[in-house]
Chains A and B, each alone.
Chain A
Amino acid sequence: MTPYTNIKNSSTSAAPRGILLGVARLCLTSAFACLLFGLTGAVSAADQAKALDIKYTSHPPAPERQTAKDADKKSLGCMSCHTGTDRHTMHANPGVVLGCTDCHGGDVSVVKPKGAEYKGKDDALYGMAMSRAHISPRFPKVWHTPDSANPKGSYAKLNQESKEFVRFINPGDLRVAREACGACHLETVQRVERSLMSTSAMLWGGAAYNNGILPFKRYILGEAYSADGVGALLKNPIPVNEHMTQMGILPSVAPLPAWETVPPGDIFRVFERGGRVINSGFPEVGVPNSTGALQRLDEPGRPDIKQSNRGPATGQRIAVPVINITKTRLNDPHLWFLGTNEQPGDYRSSGCTACHTVYANDRDPSRSGVYAKFGHEGKTQTIDPTIPKDKSGHPIKHEFTRAIPSSQCMVCHMHQPNIFVNSFYGATMWDYESDAPSMWPKKQKYPTSDEIREIQNRNPEEAAIRGLWGDPEFSKKVSELNPTLKDTQFADYHGHGWNFRYIFKRDRKGTLLDKDSKPVDDKDPKKFEKAVHLTSIHLDLGMHCVDCHFVQDAHGNGHIYGEVAAAVEIDCADCHGTSNKYPTLQTSGPAAQPGGRDLLTLRTQDGRKRFEWKEGKLYQRSALDPKLEWEMSLVKDSVTPGHPKYNEKAARSKLMHSGQDGRDGKWGPPDPNGKTEYAHANEKMTCYTCHLSWTTSCAGCHLPIQANWKTERLHYEGGETRNYASYNPQVARDDMFQLGKHGPVKGARVAPIRSSSALILSSVNSNREKIYIQQPPIAASGHSSQAFAPHYPHTERKTETKTCTDCHLSQANDNNAIMAQLLLQGTNFVNFVGYNAWVGSAKNVEAVQVTEWDEPQAVIGSYLQKYAYPDWFGDHQKRGMELPEAHNHKTAGAARCLTLRGEYLFVAEGAGGFRVYDVANIANKGVSQRIITAPFSPLGHDAHIPSKNATCMALPTNQPIAPTRNVGDLMRVTNEEQAFHPIYNYAFVVDAEEGLIVTNVNTFADGEPRNNFLTRATTWNEGNVLKGARHITLGGHYAYIATDAGLVILNINDPLKPTVAAKLSIRDMRASALQFRYLFATSAEGLQVIDVTSPEKPAMVGTANVPLADARGIYVARTYAYVAAGKDGLVIVDIETPHAPKELTRFTADGKLNDAQDVIVGSTNASLFAYVADGVNGLKVIQLTSPDSQPKFYGFSPETKPQLIAWRKTVSAALGLAKGLDRDRAVDETGGQIAVFGRIGSRPFNGDEMARFYRNPNGSLWTVKDAIDRASFVDTRPSGAKK
């Protein structure tokens, strides 16, 4: 059975009744889903009241065929004013026979009155005729009738208009396209209605699953409307069988429920049951008793932070990401709505017209092609005299085309701001830091509420309200700043009001490189001309999106999909072939019809054959430029010795043998029997695993919701409600290259993995109390929502590809950090230290506020603060760089080890044992004691395990997880999720006297407040082997414990029955940090390195010793180890080659940093920061890189240039710090999955798979080098074929 079917006669239920039936059906399968499907009947506020009462007369649908004479009659009156048009029927094909009213409706009998000439809308005679001929809207103000331009930000307002009016302004709108386009293109219209470009199912589904809102990885939500603008349930045209399910086809998608009715997916404390009503904290919708009179009778003493006194989905006990989907302009608008028509990159129509009618959006020909010359302000070139040429919001011409420039795709594919079309362009979202002086106002801006709303309606990023680019007049000229810029170059498109920076070729240290990989000086004024801009090689050829994504990729194949990767028709090999086969030019992607599409029959808009073989060479013609064609690279030629296109580097990688031969480096053409198996064969990995120059990772995004913002819904019924969440990218990086397994739909091949929207949520209630801050949600699978997904980065290059040492152990052993990154074990570099740094001290735990609350969340005293908040930066300097705000709680002993996970702080506090503090209200001004042991009586909550001397503790991950959610057939079978390793249920505490204490901590992730008690699951200290235990590091199911005798490695594969894996004598070992194959330890000797490739057989790396007098805490981030070295301050050690560590610098901040006990490192925007627990001196904040100090700051691991930027004395001596949230760690060292993976069946590598990258079956290592070794070439071809 095949997923492809004839869909011409399929049924689409587009009526409200259909929705109800569909919902009822869904309810049968899931009681949970039932809760969600109460579409609210909210009325659009102000505009609705002004609706004109108009009786519309329906115009018959356009006929499939008619005589030319009949058609001409339908244009007569129209053309008395519209005396000229670019293409009468919009179609280039004169075989299309249509009159104006066939598509637009309207009254053709109205003819321009004699003597009336258009002199503006006040011309009464003309105006009256116009209003009779045209169809009037119900809301003339919204559509600024009679102006013809698309209005700005119309969103859901189309849903409130009659279908007659919608058809009049855009016959291609999906509400009415069946009547106009459908005459001939009905099948295509139906495909488009079900395609992801209309339903947005991938975004809604992904958001719902990754944020724990809906447990369905086979998504159930998608956008669609009936002709009347009512939300509709879409059904697949044929029943979905098992095979189709495997291909990613969905049976139906239902409308998005109103956000007010969606229960929270999060386990935050404010969403727990109970609580008093907070009247003003409620949104004004759906509250039957808004005065709360009854609830006031509640007894005193109940915590008043809970968001409702009723059940889930009341008050603010709702799912924040759904507010985001509903109201925050992110992905939307999509095909059901017009473009927002307000900024370059936002001009377009809706439905069919959205793509087939080109608007001027971008001045760069590589993105706009032949349309670049028409500017980027959405102005028209039409010959129609009635259309104003100077008003934005008009198509370039009254004309359909298939020559669609990428700039048109980009109007929607702007989001996510860091991928796909952006990466194809070699660009990613700007990080607010590079060239900050040009982008922020000299004087700090204090935007008014009006200004904020005006900007946020266009641009959801809060930083824009303070930056210069909040002004569209500034943003549209940002690229004109390029010649004056120092650290980056900007692109010339600004959809959503965003800025995009170009990615340049750099080495791992961040040095710019030219095409020959020679360094380009940071001070060279022409550095951005010399350095390679890492665009897709396809873009460089002049290609646009439509040069690879043909008719089906644009329209869909008629089935409903949830994942983009599953809905793609084209595959690299279709055009490039593989190492042993020339391309077939038949599409073969997962959504291709059986046998594929014959690309050889395709033609460009201007009439040329798109593909053609000529004398053994394959050519493609540009879809955009009638003069452009290019020869295709054929993989087979590139690996055939003797062929003019032979490329030894390509041949070596593609013909690298698999198995032992490959590990020995042997490569060469297939033997005559064709039995040679290849390591990198097309069946095993996607082409773009290697053929990418960079991948993007959005390692962090902050969604703060504010109850006081009354804002519009951008979907469905529209209208206004309170609550708004802005959208704030924090760390969009281009230096993270990570691999994993794609889902079965893509052949379960190895593919690049990106960090995909690692969200953190905050909420400010109507009293401006921060009721939770920067909380990562938990995915429906219980995994961390710091999500990852396999993806196609669209950054293909020929030279700047991935090479051997990007994925395998280098012979020089200088890629330990690269391997940790690659395998998704994380590098501790992009870790998120948010609003607060969490310090453990001799007698306290303490939260010190280290960033601004406003966006961007600049670290106080940092480069970014200086430019984004010059006044506040000045205040900070005036305070002598002292941080003003902190909160603490006393402990029962020294808190040296602490971990923040979710709203809980896990602390080992010496004689006080192990305690979990509730820190949910750390930023809530309405709560006096911000850190508490329990929100209510110890009888109801006691998160404490007494022990004799709890010296340290560790959680398997500091990302919030809920292993208890990841059970049952829905997860295991339907969603194809991996189970959690049992260690993830526990916290591991070391006690100097008692040994290892293991306790189950799942209670903090179950949303149930009444069971928060801790008990020892086990206490283990066999043979007193853990005597004097003082530090614990977890690496998968191995625990590395510092004891009196040195290092003890425990195997905790069964966490309740640890066994000793190995022991290694180290003199006074104090702390350790793990990176891939190496454990870095501090001891009486200083910094020592231990090879833990096999944790059962650890080996001291004899040569690796950096002597330090008083090494204590240690943190490893990429190629540097940061050692808190007592009076020597912060010692930064280069560990790029772990067997030969080199001290880079000792930083004491001119002697101010002289009692360093512990250190952590994290990224904020583009900069790297260290936080040091400086003993008696308290907390120190150090900016490690900034655009001022280190122009190479975009590198994988730029050399650090420490600068003290802030400090605060803690109430007692600062001893330890909680590590920032891991944002690039999806899996542990033994293969246990931590973070959620988008795409069904996709996952990080398991332990065995990881080992295959560098270990022989007997456990020994094999290594690679990038230089080609001729001796490894094995030519088994018959002698005649050799050259």
Chain B
Amino acid sequence: MKRWMMWCSTLRAASRSVSWVFLLAAPFVSMQPYAQPLPYQSPHQTLGTVTCASSLCHGSVKLWKDSNVLQNEYLTWSRIDKHARAYNVLLNERSQRIAKNLGLSQPAHEAKICLDCHAHVVADKNKGERFKISDGVTCEGCHGPAEAWVRTHVEPEGAAAAQHAKNVADGMYPTSDPVARAKLCMSCHYGNKDKLVTHRIMGAGHPRMSFELDTFTEIAPKHFVIDKDYSERKKVWDGAKTWGIGQALAVSETMSILADPKRGRDGVFPELVLFDCHACHHPMGENRWKPKTAFGPSISPGLVRLNDSSMLMLRAIARTIDPKLGDRVVQQTQKLHRAIAGEGDAFAEAAALKKLADEAVPVIAGANFSSQTMSAVLVRLIDDGVQGVYSDYAAAEQATLAIGSVAAFLAKQGAMTAPQKFNATLKKLTASLAMDEQYKPREFETLLKELRSQTGTVAATTKATAAVAPTVPAGAKL
């Protein structure tokens, strides 16, 4: 764990030096983020990892000085990216048990329901001669099937920016765009219309999932460096914004599931995976209910609470960058909560919230994320917690990831007075989340208070001496 945090902090430090680039870049929103089909939906052929993995392509042991990418991406993926082992997980005893518990007719490593996320599943006609399902979540699983662009993406350097656009036009998936990326990552890490880790799958033994776009982008791990040629070819997005967009899209995705009469329900119950696990999964003798204030007081004891962690995050962002939008998020979320509690049409409210979240995406993307703004977001995130908003583990987890992301952004801007101190407390905060079932809201609040005293947000002119490591709870899993 410790090593892993150091890894993240290294990556953060590496990207700090280029922060000026995106400060100068004009706000830009991908106009057609949804136009690109996700890689598994692509009509093109997937050629197979080996095509990319050549030592003269992306499998080089040495970094190339004269290339606009590192060229060792395959090795990074293969050695330390868990996506490379996603398929192998299906071979372990736990996966086989889950498949059995679910009554699947095939073992986990052959069942589509499992492979959908643990591998890059494409239609038979789109399998190239060297395609291997056993490679798990592969190069083309994220960057899109290469058939249509493999020949052209190696063409001589011309207009570099145009080249990337051409690749995308030819079917390369635009992972550098946070919206597209969020959609891609969340297709598995949250679920989408084709795939979802349902409560049944969880019940069969699937481990708990958590996700936050910015953090997970960093720890994937990143196999690219944002440098001059990167910014020439692609738009550079800062982490905090990625986080914000990720949260809005998370709300949108959750709501679209909730609003879907098929996916959102499971028999007489709603799809329980959308709800807070610990609302139910705690010893009956332990009564830790406490009124939830963030979205109104209407949540009563005994009510199964929606997992609203991303909504809480969206609320914090929206209230800071666009108070009006913030108010609407609060109101709509309240409405949803009430509807779930029986006071209204939950499907309609969910649909409305989805719409609102979608609306928030370009607002966040276009907002000016100054250090003042983000300081305010940070304070808000902490204050919310101090006020007991993160009574659910999922919320506390997201908040901690968020605090990490935002603090890292501020530290990069030199907008934190004592980042090391802050970081130390953040570590403690993270440690308190090590076991989801032993989460103690009070203890978390106390630590947040300590953190609050260390925010000391000042003007951007103050120079920071060190970066703050982004922090995620120990339980976070890919």
- Interface contact B75-A608, CB-CB below 8 Å: no
- Interface contact A600-B78, CB-CB below 8 Å: yes
User: Which segment of A62-70, A257-265, A921-929 sits at the interface?
Assistant: A62-70
Within 8 Å of chain A (Cβ to Cβ): is B79? yes
Q: For residue A598, which residues in chain B have a CB less than 8 angstroms away from its CB?
A: 75, 79
- Interface contact B88-A612, CB-CB below 8 Å: yes
B50, B93, B155 — which one has the most chain A CB atoms within 10 A of its CB?
B50
A601 partner, pick from B47, B57, B75, B155, beta carbons under 8 A? B75
Within 8 Å of chain B (Cβ to Cβ): is A184? yes
Question: Given A65-B156, A67-B156, A615-B92, are A94 and B130 also a contact pair (CB < 8 Å)?
Answer: no
Within 8 Å of chain A (Cβ to Cβ): is B134? yes
- Interface contact A607-B151, CB-CB below 8 Å: no
A62 → B minimal CB distance (Å): 13
Shortest Cβ distance from B92 into A: residue: A615
B78 partner, pick from A67, A601, A604, A606, beta carbons under 8 A? A601
Shortest Cβ distance from B58 into A: residue: A95
- Interface contact A607-B155, CB-CB below 8 Å: no
Within 8 Å of chain B (Cβ to Cβ): is A97? yes
| Number of chain B residues close to chain A: CB under 8 A | 35
Within 8 Å of chain B (Cβ to Cβ): is A445? no
Within 8 Å of chain B (Cβ to Cβ): is A93? yes
Q: For residue B131, which residues in chain A have a CB less than 8 angstroms away from its CB?
A: 607
Q: Would you give the 0/1 interface string for A599-643, flagging 1 where the beta carbon is closer than 8 Å to chain B?
A: 011011111110010110000000000000000000000000000
B56 partner, pick from A92, A97, A185, A603, beta carbons under 8 A? A185
Within 8 Å of chain A (Cβ to Cβ): is B174? no
Chain A 189-239 interface residues, beta-carbon cutoff 8 Å to B: none
Shortest Cβ distance from B47 into A: residue: A94
Chain B 41-56 interface residues, beta-carbon cutoff 8 Å to A: 47-51, 53-56
Within 8 Å of chain A (Cβ to Cβ): is B234? no
A180 → B minimal CB distance (Å): 14
Question: Given A65-B156, A614-B88, are A601 and B59 also a contact pair (CB < 8 Å)?
Answer: yes
Question: Given A65-B156, A612-B88, A615-B91, are A600 and B79 also a contact pair (CB < 8 Å)?
Answer: yes
| Number of chain A residues close to chain B: CB under 8 A | 27
- Interface contact A95-B150, CB-CB below 8 Å: yes
Q: Would you give the 0/1 interface string for A49-67, flagging 1 where the beta carbon is closer than 8 Å to chain B?
A: 0000000000000010111
Main secondary structure of the interface of B (DSSP, over half): loop
B450 → A minimal CB distance (Å): 43
- Interface contact A614-B91, CB-CB below 8 Å: yes
B109 → A minimal CB distance (Å): 10
Q: Would you give the 0/1 interface string for B203-224, flagging 1 where the beta carbon is closer than 8 Å to chain A?
A: 0000000000000000000000
- A314–B243 alpha-carbon span in the complex (Å): 85
- A170–B421 alpha-carbon span in the complex (Å): 67
- Interface contact A95-B91, CB-CB below 8 Å: no
Q: For residue B150, which residues in chain A have a CB less than 8 angstroms away from its CB?
A: 93-95
A267 → B minimal CB distance (Å): 52
B150 → A minimal CB distance (Å): 5
Q: Would you give the 0/1 interface string for A170-193, flagging 1 where the beta carbon is closer than 8 Å to chain B?
A: 000000000000001100000000
Question: Given A598-B79, A607-B48, are A94 and B151 also a contact pair (CB < 8 Å)?
Answer: yes
- A601–B49 alpha-carbon span in the complex (Å): 11
A94, A97, A551, A612 — which one has the most chain B CB atoms within 10 A of its CB?
A94
Question: Given A65-B155, A95-B153, A607-B131, are A184 and B56 also a contact pair (CB < 8 Å)?
Answer: yes
Within 8 Å of chain A (Cβ to Cβ): is B190? no
B129 → A minimal CB distance (Å): 8
Within 8 Å of chain A (Cβ to Cβ): is B268? no
Shortest Cβ distance from B131 into A: residue: A607
B50 partner, pick from A6, A68, A603, A612, beta carbons under 8 A? A603
Q: For residue A605, which residues in chain B have a CB less than 8 angstroms away from its CB?
A: 50
Question: Given A67-B156, A94-B151, A95-B154, are A608 and B134 also a contact pair (CB < 8 Å)?
Answer: yes
Q: For residue A63, which residues in chain B have a CB less than 8 angstroms away from its CB?
A: 156
Q: For residue B88, which residues in chain A have a CB less than 8 angstroms away from its CB?
A: 612, 614
- Interface contact B151-A603, CB-CB below 8 Å: no
- A965–B238 alpha-carbon span in the complex (Å): 75
Within 8 Å of chain A (Cβ to Cβ): is B347? no
Q: Would you give the 0/1 interface string for B56-80, flagging 1 where the beta carbon is closer than 8 Å to chain A?
A: 1101001000000000001100110
- A169–B74 alpha-carbon span in the complex (Å): 35
Question: Given A601-B79, A607-B131, A607-B132, are A66 and B151 also a contact pair (CB < 8 Å)?
Answer: no
- Interface contact A97-B130, CB-CB below 8 Å: no
Q: For residue B134, which residues in chain A have a CB less than 8 angstroms away from its CB?
A: 608-609
Shortest Cβ distance from A614 into B: residue: B91
- A153–B130 alpha-carbon span in the complex (Å): 37
B59, B78, B79 — which one has the most chain A CB atoms within 10 A of its CB?
B78
Main secondary structure of the interface of A (DSSP, over half): loop
Chain B 212-268 interface residues, beta-carbon cutoff 8 Å to A: none
Within 8 Å of chain A (Cβ to Cβ): is B152? yes
Q: For residue B79, which residues in chain A have a CB less than 8 angstroms away from its CB?
A: 598, 600-601
B196 → A minimal CB distance (Å): 27
B477 → A minimal CB distance (Å): 19
- A65–B163 alpha-carbon span in the complex (Å): 14
Q: For residue A615, which residues in chain B have a CB less than 8 angstroms away from its CB?
A: 91-93
- Interface contact A93-B51, CB-CB below 8 Å: yes
B7 → A minimal CB distance (Å): 19
Q: For residue A68, which residues in chain B have a CB less than 8 angstroms away from its CB?
A: 151-152, 155
- A615–B132 alpha-carbon span in the complex (Å): 20
- A598–B74 alpha-carbon span in the complex (Å): 12
Chain B 129-166 interface residues, beta-carbon cutoff 8 Å to A: 129-132, 134-135, 146-147, 150-156
- A612–B150 alpha-carbon span in the complex (Å): 27
- A97–B149 alpha-carbon span in the complex (Å): 12
- A68–B91 alpha-carbon span in the complex (Å): 41
Q: For residue A94, which residues in chain B have a CB less than 8 angstroms away from its CB?
A: 47, 51, 147, 150-151
- Interface contact A95-B57, CB-CB below 8 Å: yes
- Interface contact A607-B49, CB-CB below 8 Å: yes
B465 → A minimal CB distance (Å): 34
A95 partner, pick from B49, B51, B55, B75, beta carbons under 8 A? B51
- Interface contact B155-A67, CB-CB below 8 Å: yes
- A952–B156 alpha-carbon span in the complex (Å): 85
Chain B 111-137 interface residues, beta-carbon cutoff 8 Å to A: 129-132, 134-135
Shortest Cβ distance from B57 into A: residue: A95
- A95–B151 alpha-carbon span in the complex (Å): 5
Chain A 87-109 interface residues, beta-carbon cutoff 8 Å to B: 92-95, 97
Chain B 317-370 interface residues, beta-carbon cutoff 8 Å to A: none
Q: For residue B47, which residues in chain A have a CB less than 8 angstroms away from its CB?
A: 94
- Interface contact B49-A66, CB-CB below 8 Å: no
- A543–B207 alpha-carbon span in the complex (Å): 39
- Interface contact A608-B132, CB-CB below 8 Å: yes
B49, B57, B156 — which one has the most chain A CB atoms within 10 A of its CB?
B156
- Interface contact B154-A65, CB-CB below 8 Å: yes
Q: Would you give the 0/1 interface string for A1183-1201, flagging 1 where the beta carbon is closer than 8 Å to chain B?
A: 0000000000000000000
Chain B 170-222 interface residues, beta-carbon cutoff 8 Å to A: none
Q: For residue B151, which residues in chain A have a CB less than 8 angstroms away from its CB?
A: 68, 94-95, 97
Shortest Cβ distance from A89 into B: residue: B151
- A66–B151 alpha-carbon span in the complex (Å): 10
- A569–B261 alpha-carbon span in the complex (Å): 61
Chain A 1-48 interface residues, beta-carbon cutoff 8 Å to B: 6
B229 → A minimal CB distance (Å): 16
The 7 listed contacts between A and B (C-beta, < 8 Å) are A6-B62, A95-B150, A184-B56, A601-B78, A603-B53, A614-B88, A615-B91
Q: A94-B51, A601-B59, A607-B132 are in contact. List 8 more A-B contacts (CB 8 A).
A: A95-B57, A95-B154, A598-B79, A606-B129, A606-B130, A607-B131, A609-B134, A615-B91
A-binding residues in B (CB < 8 A): 47-51, 53-57, 59, 62, 74-75, 78-79, 88, 91-93, 129-132, 134-135, 146-147, 150-156
Closest 4 CB pairs of A and B: A607-B130, A607-B50, A65-B156, A607-B48
